[in-house]
Chains A and B, each alone.
Chain A
Amino acid sequence: MRPLLLKGHERPLTQLKFNPEGDLLFTTAKDTRPTVWWASTGERLGTYEGHTGAVWACDVFWDSTRLVTGSADNTARLWEVQTGRELFRWSLRSSVRSVGVAPGCRLMHLANSKLLGQESCIHLFRLKPDDDGRDQEKEPISVFQGHTATITAAIWYNTAEFLISASEDGTVRKWDVETGKERDHAKRHKKAITDLKFSKDNQFFLTGSADGTAVLWDTHNMQEVKSFVLDRPLNAVDLSPLMPHAVVGGGQEASQVTTTAGKAGKFAASFLHLVYGQELFSVKGHFGPINCLSFTPDGRGFASGGEDGYVRLHHFDEEYFRLSSEM
Chain B
Amino acid sequence: MSLRVANAETELEREPWEEADDEQPYATAQRTRGAQTPLTKDAPGLPPPQVSDPDAEGCVTITDYYVNDEGYVVRRTRRVRRRLERRRVCAAVAERHRRWRKFGLAAAGNTNTTTQANEDIPIEWNTRSADDSDAEERGEAETGPGAAAASATADWNTKPSGSGEELMTNKSIVVCRICGRVGDHWTLRCPYKGLQGPLGELGANDRDAQTETGAGFTGIGVAGNANGPPGTNGVATAGSGSSRYVPPSMRSGASARLREGDSLYGRREENSIRISNLTEAATEDDLRQLLEPFGRVVRIYLARDKYTGAPKGFAFAAFAERSAAERCIAKLNGFGYDHLILSVEWARPSGERSTSTGTAASTAPGLASALPGSGAGTSSLP
Q: Which residues of A contact B (CB under 8 A)?
A: 1-8, 20-21, 23-24, 33, 35, 37-38, 40-49, 61-64, 82-84, 104-105, 129, 268, 278-285, 314, 317, 319-320, 323
Contacts and interface: CB of A to CB of B under 8 A. Distances in A.
A41 B1 CA distance: 29
Interface centre among B4, B92, B123 (most CB of A within 10 A): B123
A46 B1 contact: no
Contacts of B2: 63
A283 B103 contact: no
A150 to B, nearest CB: 30
B26 interface: yes
Interface residues of B, number: 41
Nearest to A280: B126
B306 interface: no
Given A3-B117, A21-B93, A48 B16 contact: no
A20 B122 CA distance: 28
Contacts of A104: 1
The 9 closest A-B pairs by CB, nearest first: A47-B104, A46-B103, A44-B106, A84-B103, A42-B115, A129-B1, A41-B16, A46-B104, A47-B105
Given A23-B89, A47-B105, A2 B27 contact: no
Nearest to A85: B103
Given A23-B96, A41-B16, A43-B111, A5 B1 contact: no
B97 A278 contact: no
A23 B104 CA distance: 19
Contacts of B93: 21, 23
B97 A23 contact: yes
Nearest to B27: A41
Interface centre among A4, A20, A33 (most CB of B within 10 A): A4
B114 A8 contact: yes
Nearest to B19: A43
B126 A41 contact: no
A282 B113 CA distance: 27
Given A23-B97, A47-B105, A84-B104, A1 B92 contact: no
A296 B121 CA distance: 18
A21 B126 contact: no
Contacts of A279: 126
Contacts of A38: 16, 97
Contact of A44 (B4, B5, B89, B115): B115
B116 interface: yes
- Majority secondary structure, A binding face: loop
Contacts of B87: 40
Interface of B: 1-5, 16, 25-27, 87, 89-90, 92-93, 96-97, 99-100, 102-107, 109, 111, 113-126, 129
B124 A5 contact: no
13 contacts: A5-B116, A6-B115, A20-B5, A33-B105, A40-B87, A41-B115, A42-B115, A63-B2, A64-B96, A82-B103, A104-B1, A283-B123, A314-B121
A41 B27 CA distance: 8
A323 to B, nearest CB: 7
Contacts of B122: 1
Contacts, number: 131
Contacts of A61: 1
A283 B5 CA distance: 32
Nearest to B2: A63
Contact of A281 (B3, B107, B120, B124): B124
Contacts of B119: 2-3
Contacts of A44: 102, 105-106, 109, 111, 114-115
Nearest to A282: B124
Contact of A21 (B90, B109, B114, B115): B90
A84 B90 CA distance: 23
B103 A41 contact: no
Contacts of A320: 123
Contacts of A278: 126, 129
A4 B123 contact: no
B104 A48 contact: yes
A8 to B, nearest CB: 5
Contacts of A4: 26, 115-117
B249 to A, nearest CB: 28
A283 B100 CA distance: 33
B105 A283 contact: no
Contacts of B113: 7
Contacts of A285: 121
A282 B3 CA distance: 36
Nearest to B90: A21
A284 B124 CA distance: 8
A6 B126 CA distance: 27
Interface centre among B5, B97, B105, B113 (most CB of A within 10 A): B105
Contacts of B118: 5
Contacts of B5: 20-21
Contacts of A24: 96
